């Protein structure tokens, strides 16, 4: 046989897909199926073709003549389209793809027909179907005609549904198209989607972590963008837990309104009172239309079209249950609840922590409620109600690996056989009823309860038996007849989803969904690193993100006056291009324009600039009247770096006149305000950036710093601000164009809300120089030395306030608790020329006279700085202070080395009024001295004081040790919570 240049050979990779670990020696010759083609110099591609009946992979070699790799790859791509490729998640157990495509063609035909002005085909208008053409996935317990309905039970192997469930009919009537059926645990009675018929379904975030159950197949598929909607059912958390572990929205509809016909197992009427159905989706905006369709004619009872004023609702919350058999809530889950509480409070809602003591009985309440239902025993369900299994024999088989049933199903069957006295059952039913009354009265029709969906987001596949009690976090609310929405609230530090249950009384689905929609808008409160992951995996559209930030800027701008110029429409167009590229590459295509989405660490992240660093097409005036209307003609290098990394510029923000003040005010654009308190300075010169970022109007702002201009605004606005080792930063086309000597003390850096965003931002800011900063080096914080000081001994500087001092002490104590060693331990261009845009010089005497009656175009602080720069100082005095500077620098360099940091106040006082900056100008010494000493510094927010104003601390290290200060910043964020949103009241 001779190979042609246009032919391929399909040949087995191996004769058998099941080779045991100890059998390779006896089957050694079987490798000839592949080895021979190496000898023949062939081009070969191995292609996965799915799984066999034992859930083991199948595959085929596609072979062509040498130099015809393009042929084998083209065939591989086609076979992947047909067979689905490698089974990453194993969520689908049955499908109707061809029928779905035919139904989709019929939809297209009807749309075309009606758009041409014709009457509807078949008498049903496309405009009457709210889910027209939407594909959805079913769950292997709720029947879809022609697809499996086995509930993963071996006794039901091969059984297919003969008719649709009513809820499926509702979806079809609304125009939706069923595509497939998804996997469940055996008979639904476990919280990991695994059975002996179809195997393990995997979590798309981490295959070693459970997708949970029983709607784990639906959740895994929806989370993988394999379906826009999955049907879920929930008896104890079977919608909410999979939605939590897979990062989705899952809604448990008020159960009285849901038809539950032909469900398998066919629960009795009492058990059905605990069971509900609901949609599992990626977007909160899909919940309302889906719920309306699920409940059919009952939709009017749910008030879903009723407008909700979230400022008027009551928000109650708890962090965990007082049950010794339940896992303690992890810090990241707790922080998620706290963040949601802060966000709802910022809207103006009334928030209150409560202690529902009876929740500690949740496990007993749910289990004994189930016992009281007297439903069909699990041992009978496992035979498809044809007799009963021998439970002892099946447990024995399990020990030998021979049972057809899962350990979870058998464990539930054992629990069903355990004796419980009627007295004990009635006691817990009484506690249940009392708890239900207490919670019902607490919530009324205008209250919601925030509660963890699960105490931890990392449950390994083999750990469900040991943590079974943890399902109490969801199961109890089925017993209490509540409506609930599980809401994803981002990822933890391991990249696993976090979530929260939003709980309300029955028939208040509109409340929980409204809160879910609001918390979804919290994508404004997501770190950049999470958002990039969501964009690159197709879970988040860049266009939606950019529009959300544009909308947010438009909301806060009237309150804070931070933005002086914008490019919103261009940014949206660039975001659409990002989405186009993502879709293209996720379909397996080569990158558009030759740049892969995976090579861009800030793909789709919107950012704002500062009115001194040029962004092409936007203003670059530095708040100086003589530069009014001047726009940048090219990007600064640091902006180019950000664009190359995939980031998208949105706007330019306000600065003090010519940057030389520590309050952001000028006569061109006016005063920028602090979002925490409008009578307090936002500081400067990066005050516009800081105010906007703190108001959640931007993910990141570009800051620059020669005396504290990143750190002081970050301090006053409760943010992280990092001063990058200045030698590594390109500072081209800056205005004013400072002389080279001055630029030695000048640096740029990111201003952000989350410490986790600092490293990726800094890497991009410094470009090819990133390797010099050791940012990927692991830091053992127990091995670093921590030095600290509380204040400067200068009689002209404000004394450090008690809360600033306490903040330093708290940081020191925390670092000590980790095991760290702790120990207390300049000529430039005259400013009068800059004021004329370097076209001559201003008369300071005349400008001061004008200022007295409000006639000067310049700010009083700019004039004061100009006077200060005119004051003469003798050469001898100048040299004396330069000598002191060099001695201090040498002393600090020796003290810190490459393994130490200094904790030092960012500012002595966090309450500086708008009109008080001249009087307190020397207080900037707390930051500016470290520019002169060539240090790398991160300002870290450490909470709010009793007045609700931010506190912070500088983490200082020698140059090129940015990795140290950022590592400490990340640790202090974990301890103190980082940025805290300002309240709505404070915006007004």
Q: Biggest alpha carbon distance in the chain?
A: 104
Judging by beta carbons within 10 Å of its beta carbon (0-12, 13-18, 19+), is residue 74 exposed, middle or buried? middle
* Alpha-carbon separation of residue 567 from 423, 450, 701 (angstroms): 70, 38, 15
- Distance of alpha carbon 291 from alpha carbon 109, whole angstroms: 27
**Rounded to 5 degrees, what angle do the CA atoms 591, 593, 595 make?**
55
3-class DSSP string for 338-385: HHHHHHHHHHCCEEEECCCHHHHHHHHHHHHHHHHCCCCCHHHHCCCC
130 phi, psi to nearest 5 deg:
-70, -20
Q: Find all residues with CB under 8 Å of 894, minimum gap 6, and list them.
A: none
If you count them, how many residues does the chain have? 988
Residue 396, token pair as written in the block:
């024995």
- Distance of alpha carbon 772 from alpha carbon 799, whole angstroms: 38
DSSP for 461-506, please give it: TT-TTTTGGGGHHHHHHHHTTEEEEEEEEEE-TTS-EEEEEEEEET
Residue 715, token pair as written in the block:
């301090």
The residue annotated as part of the active site, out of 364, 479, 685, 686, is 685
- Distance of alpha carbon 848 from alpha carbon 856, whole angstroms: 8
CA 336 centroid distance within chain: 11
The answer to whether 488 touches 516, Cβ cutoff 8 Å, is no
| Beta pairing class for 135-139 and 747-752 | unpaired
- Distance of alpha carbon 398 from alpha carbon 555, whole angstroms: 61
Nearest to 823 by CA among 893, 901, 937: 901
- Distance of alpha carbon 967 from alpha carbon 122, whole angstroms: 65
- Distance of alpha carbon 912 from alpha carbon 920, whole angstroms: 8
610 is a catalytic site residue: yes
Beta bridge partners of 195: 199
The answer to whether 88 touches 58, Cβ cutoff 8 Å, is no
Residue 478, token pair as written in the block:
């089925």
Using the structure block, give the residue that is written with the tokens 């990092």.
722
The residue annotated as part of the active site, out of 362, 709, 714, 856, is 709
| Helix (DSSP H) and strand (DSSP E) numbers for the chain | 32, 29
Nearest to 943 by CA among 676, 603, 651: 676
Helix (H/G/I), strand (E/B), else coil: 103:
helix
Nearest to 126 by CA among 176, 179, 178, 180: 176
**Strands of the sheet with 57-64, listed across from one edge:** 9-11, 57-64, 43-51
Taken in order 808, 678, 705, 568, is the CA torsion positive or negative?
Answer: positive
The answer to whether 495 touches 533, Cβ cutoff 8 Å, is yes
Beta bridge partners of 449: 316, 503
The helix (H) or strand (E) run that includes residue 450 is strand 447-452
The residue annotated as part of the active site, out of 65, 335, 536, 610, is 610
Q: Find all residues with CB under 8 Å of 548, minimum gap 6, and list them.
A: 521, 523, 524
709 is a catalytic site residue: yes
539 phi, psi to nearest 5 deg:
-75, -20
**Rounded to 5 degrees, what angle do the CA atoms 953, 959, 964 make?**
55
Residue 201, token pair as written in the block:
């379904």
Beta bridge partners of 278: 232
Within 10 angstroms of residue 586's Cβ, the number of other Cβ atoms is 13
Residues serving a catalytic function are 610, 685, 709
């Amino acid at each position: 046989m001779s190979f042609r240049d246009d032919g391929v050979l399909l040949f087995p990779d191996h004769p058998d897909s099941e080779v045991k670990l100890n059998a390779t020696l006896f089957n050694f010759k079987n490798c000839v199926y592949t080895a021979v083609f190496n000898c023949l110099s062939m081009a070969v591609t191995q292609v996965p073709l799915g799984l066999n009946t034992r859930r083991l992979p199948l595959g085929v070699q596609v072979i062509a003549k040498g130099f015809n790799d393009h042929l084998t790859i083209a065939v591989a791509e086609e076979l992947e389209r047909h067979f689905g490729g490698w089974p990453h998640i194993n969520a689908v157990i049955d499908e109707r793809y061809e029928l779905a495509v035919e139904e989709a063609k019929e939809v297209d035909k009807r749309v075309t027909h009606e758009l041409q002005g014709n009457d509807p085909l078949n008498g049903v208008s496309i405009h009457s179907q709210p889910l027209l053409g939407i594909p959805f996935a079913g769950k292997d317990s709720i029947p879809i005609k022609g697809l499996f309905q086995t509930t993963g039970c071996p006794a039901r192997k091969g059984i297919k549904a003969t008719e649709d469930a009513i809820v499926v009919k509702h979806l079809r009537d609304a125009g939706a198209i069923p595509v497939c059926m998804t996997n469940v645990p055996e008979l639904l009675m476990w919280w990991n989607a695994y059975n002996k018929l179809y195997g393990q379904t995997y979590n798309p975030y981490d295959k070693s972590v459970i997708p949970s159950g029983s709607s784990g197949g639906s959740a895994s598929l929806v989370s993988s963008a394999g379906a826009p909607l999955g049907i879920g059912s929930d008896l104890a958390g079977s919608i909410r837990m999979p939605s939590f572990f897979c990062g989705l929205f899952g809604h448990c509809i008020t159960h009285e309104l849901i038809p539950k016909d032909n469900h398998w197992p066919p629960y009795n009427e009492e058990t059905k009172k605990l069971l509900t159905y609901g949609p599992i989706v990626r977007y909160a905006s899909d919940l309302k239309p889906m719920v309306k369709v699920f409940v059919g004619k009952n939709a009017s009872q749910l008030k879903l079209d009723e407008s909700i004023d979230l400022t008027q609702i009551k928000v109650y919350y708890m962090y965990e249950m007082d049950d010794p058999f339940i896992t303690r809530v992890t810090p990241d889950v707790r922080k998620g609840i706290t963040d949601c509480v802060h966000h709802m409070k910022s809207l103006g809602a009334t928030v209150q922590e409560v202690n529902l003591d009876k929740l500690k009985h949740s496990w007993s309440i749910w289990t004994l409620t189930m016992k009281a239902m007297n439903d069909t025993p699990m041992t009978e369900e496992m035979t498809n109600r044809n007799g009963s299994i021998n439970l002892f024999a099946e447990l024995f088989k399990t020990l030998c690996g021979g049972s057809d049933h899962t350990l979870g199903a058998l464990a539930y069957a054992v629990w069903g056989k355990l004796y419980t006295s009627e007295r004990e059952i009635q006691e817990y039913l009484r506690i249940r009823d009392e708890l239900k009354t207490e919670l019902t009265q607490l919530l009324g029709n205008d209250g919601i309860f925030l509660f963890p969906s699960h105490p931890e987001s990392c449950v390994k596949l083999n750990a469900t038996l040991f943590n079974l009690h943890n399902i109490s976090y969801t199961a109890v609310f089925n017993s209490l007849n509540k409506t609930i929405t599980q809401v994803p609230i981002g990822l933890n530090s391991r990249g696993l989803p976090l979530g929260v249950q939003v709980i309300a009384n029955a028939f208040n689905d509109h409340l929980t969904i409204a809160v879910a929609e609001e918390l979804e808008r919290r994508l404004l409160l997501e770190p950049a690193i999470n958002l990039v992951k969501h964009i690159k995996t197709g879970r988040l559209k860049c266009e939606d993100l950019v529009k959300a930030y544009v909308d947010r800027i438009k909301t806060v701008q009237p309150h804070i006056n931070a933005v002086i110029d914008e490019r919103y429409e261009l940014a949206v167009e660039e975001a659409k291009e990002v989405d186009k590229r993502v879709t293209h590459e996720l379909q397996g295509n080569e990158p558009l324009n030759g740049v892969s989405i995976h090579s861009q660490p800030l793909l789709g992240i919107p950012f704002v600039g500062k009115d001194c660093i040029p962004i092409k097409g936007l203003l670059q005036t530095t708040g100086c009247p003589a530069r009014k209307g001047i726009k940048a003609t090219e990007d600064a290098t640091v902006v180019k770096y950000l664009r190359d990394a995939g980031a998208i510029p949105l706007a330019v923000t306000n600065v003090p006149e010519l940057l030389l003040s520590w309050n952001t005010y000028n006569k061109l654009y006016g005063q920028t305000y602090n979002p925490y308190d409008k009578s307090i300075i936002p500081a400067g010169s990066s005050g516009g950036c800081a105010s906007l970022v703190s108001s959640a109007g931007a993910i990141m702002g570009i800051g620059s710093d020669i005396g504290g201009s990143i750190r002081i605004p970050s301090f006053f606005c409760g943010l992280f601000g990092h001063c990058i080792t200045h030698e590594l930063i390109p500072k081209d086309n800056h205005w004013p164009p400072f002389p080279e000597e001055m630029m030695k003390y000048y640096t740029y850096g990111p201003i952000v809300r989350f410490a986790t965003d600092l490293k990726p931002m800094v890497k991009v800011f410094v470009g090819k120089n990133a390797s010099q900063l050791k940012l990927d080096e692991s830091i053992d914080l127990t091995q670093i030395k921590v030095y600290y000081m509380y204040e400067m001994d200068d009689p002209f500087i404000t004394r450090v306030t008690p809360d600033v001092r306490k903040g330093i002490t708290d940081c020191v104590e925390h670092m000590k608790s980790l095991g760290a060693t702790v120990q207390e331990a300049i000529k430039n261009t005259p400013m009068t020329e800059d004021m004329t845009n370097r076209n001559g010089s201003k008369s300071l005497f005349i400008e001061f006279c004008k200022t007295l009656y409000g006639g000067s175009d310049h700010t009083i602080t700019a004039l004061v700085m100009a006077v200060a720069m005119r004051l003469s100082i003798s050469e001898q005095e100048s040299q004396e202070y330069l000598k002191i500077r060099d001695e201090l620098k040498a002393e600090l360099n020796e003290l810190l080395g490459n393994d130490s940091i200094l904790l030092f106040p960012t500012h002595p006082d966090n309450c500086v009024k708008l009109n008080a900056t001249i009087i307190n100008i020397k207080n900037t010494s707390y930051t500016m001295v470290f520019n002169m000493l060539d240090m790398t510094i991160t300002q870290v927010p450490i909470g709010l004081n009793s007045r609700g104003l931010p506190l912070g601390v500088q983490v200082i290290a020698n140059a090129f040790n940015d990795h140290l200060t950022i590592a400490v910043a990340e640790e202090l964020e974990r301890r103190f919570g980082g940025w805290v949103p300002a309240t709505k009241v404070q915006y007004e």
